[in-house]
Chains A and B, each alone.
Chain A
């Protein structure tokens, strides 16, 4: 899922005020990359949860719901937010519907947090499949 989202956002954000990096949001000298490099989106590895959607007999044939969650992070200056931020946020929301991922359900959300003089944006994509 991360690969498909990265591929889409690298192209879609090419001329936007927020750029997309290929790197994971690792930490350099105790600071995450997205803190050091503002206005750059870093997509983390996805993680998966599997729950029983419909229990049946035998249990080995249970209908399962698999939710894959992919998060991304970027920061902007809290004192002077970049122009085009709204457009970038719209592009991030549109990544929910990329056609290279075939799933039963798609969700997108983001949250903000002011840390010092920066605004940290945390975006989250959730893809639901039934097996």
Chain B
């Protein structure tokens, strides 16, 4: 039995955020082909590589419809549309959280403005890194549930983050090239 190690040296679970360009999310929205053996890909310029994440949760909640029939002893069920979301908590880094408003890319806007302006985003969750052979989950959606908070016991700003997913998740394994 294998497991997914989310925190190896130089390679770890990541959340990448890019502004949606009106088309379906693809790997090329986030990554460019890198180098090495296996290939360590590069996060594309303008993409937010969310720093200081405390946790990431991927939720695929398939809804169901149940009914009863007189000729069976138990309920029948079929799957209907799913509700998908990404949730996490992060320590606020001012550069990526607020951006510098110098342009329209995700990194320019920052996480807070992408939520505040209701900008549709593409996201990529790298389960164990962005090296060739690593598994990723990506899609599109909207950032919600930002609530930065600080307390005397924990004097750094921490915020939850939720991405409400528009449509399905796409699961992929990174190849040697990104196209």
Contacts and interface: CB of A to CB of B under 8 A. Distances in A.
Contacts of A61: 51-52, 91
Nearest to A129: B155
Interface string A54-90: 1111110101000000000000000000000000000
A53 B151 CA distance: 14
A104 interface: yes
Query: What band does the interface of chain B fall in when counting residues whose beta carbon is under 8 Å from A?
Result: 10 to 19
B154 A56 contact: no
Question: Is chain B's binding surface mostly helix, strand, loop or mixed?
Answer: strand
Contacts of A53: 154, 156
A56 B156 contact: no
A56 B51 CA distance: 8
A130 interface: yes
A55 B54 CA distance: 6
Interface string B73-99: 000000000000000001100000000
B7 A54 contact: no
A130 B53 contact: no
B156 A63 contact: yes
Contacts of B52: 56-57, 61, 63
B14 interface: yes
Given A63-B52, A63-B91, A57 B156 contact: no
Interface residues of A, number: 11
A36 B7 CA distance: 54
Contacts of B12: 57-59
Interface string B34-59: 00000000000000000111101000
A59 B154 CA distance: 18
Contacts of B91: 54, 56, 61, 63
B6 interface: yes
B94 to A, nearest CB: 14
Contacts of A57: 6-7, 12-14, 52-54, 56
28 contacts: A53-B154, A53-B156, A54-B54, A54-B91, A54-B156, A55-B54, A56-B51, A56-B53, A56-B54, A56-B91, A57-B6, A57-B7, A57-B12, A57-B13, A57-B14, A57-B52, A57-B53, A57-B54, A57-B56, A58-B7, A58-B12, A59-B7, A59-B12, A61-B51, A61-B52, A61-B91, A63-B52, A63-B156
Given A55-B54, A61-B91, A104-B155, 7 more contacts: A53-B154, A53-B156, A56-B54, A58-B7, A59-B12, A63-B52, A130-B156
Interface of A: 53-59, 61, 63, 104, 130
